Homo-oligomer: A and B are copies of this chain.
Amino acid sequence: MNSFTEENYLKAIYKFSLLHEKGASTNSIAQALNTKASSVTDMLKKLAVKKLINYKKYYGVTLTNKGEQIAISIIRNHRLWEVFLVEKLSFKWDEVHELAEELEHIKSEKLINNLDAFLNFPSNDPHGDPIPNKNGKMKKLKMINMSELKTNEEGIFIHVKDSSDKFLKYLSKNKLEIGKKIKVIEIEPFDNSFKIAFDNQQLILSENVAKNIYIQN
């Protein structure tokens, strides 16, 4: 059995692997988990002994098959709990992440599979992320970053890169939610800000915000 802490390390390494080709560096993991590089090194040794990661001193780490399976199952738990909280317990999409961080570590196959069925086998969480099925398979999202859109192009908002409470609350405040159809009205060359239209309203997004929004492709 793995501790909550070990599981969080595996998850961090897995998420890194989705964005980069190389293995995760000690520092990148430390940053993701808000801890120190020396603590990371200690944990990497431990995970290597358990054969959950491929670790060689001074090289980046990658997950073994076993490690990846665990990471994916934790992510499945996390996303299913988020759906539950939003759909059944009337939470807002910007209130569920931290709670899911705790719930994801409750270990019971039966619990999570029954929850999945209870929720009707949802394919995406409230932030648009795909939910792995019980075999760890999930559909890959086809999407492009909003900053790649040109004037007059449109598409459906399906994913946020940064799912921090702060960012999600900013979006909620502006009624900009997953599933909405968005059209680019104008791109300001000066600061790369986007003027967009959705729901019969217009909104200006900074370059930074635009880069955190993904559009279905």
A residues whose Cβ falls under 8 Å from a Cβ of B: 85, 88-91, 95, 99, 102-103, 106-108, 110-111, 114-115, 118
Contacts and interface: CB of A to CB of B under 8 A. Distances in A.
A95 B99 CA distance: 24
A89 B109 CA distance: 12
A4 to B, nearest CB: 10
8 contacts: A85-B111, A89-B114, A90-B114, A91-B110, A95-B110, A99-B108, A99-B111, A103-B106
Given A99-B106, A103-B106, A106-B103, A118 B88 contact: yes
Q: How many copies does the complex hold?
A: 2
A85 to B, nearest CB: 7
A115 B90 CA distance: 10
A103 to B, nearest CB: 6
Contacts of A99: 106, 108, 111
Contacts of A111: 85, 89, 99
Given A88-B118, A91-B114, A99-B108, 13 more contacts: A85-B111, A89-B111, A89-B114, A89-B115, A89-B118, A90-B114, A91-B110, A95-B110, A99-B106, A99-B111, A102-B106, A102-B107, A103-B106
Nearest to A89: B114
A95 B118 CA distance: 17
A99 B110 CA distance: 10
A167 to B, nearest CB: 21
A89 B84 CA distance: 12
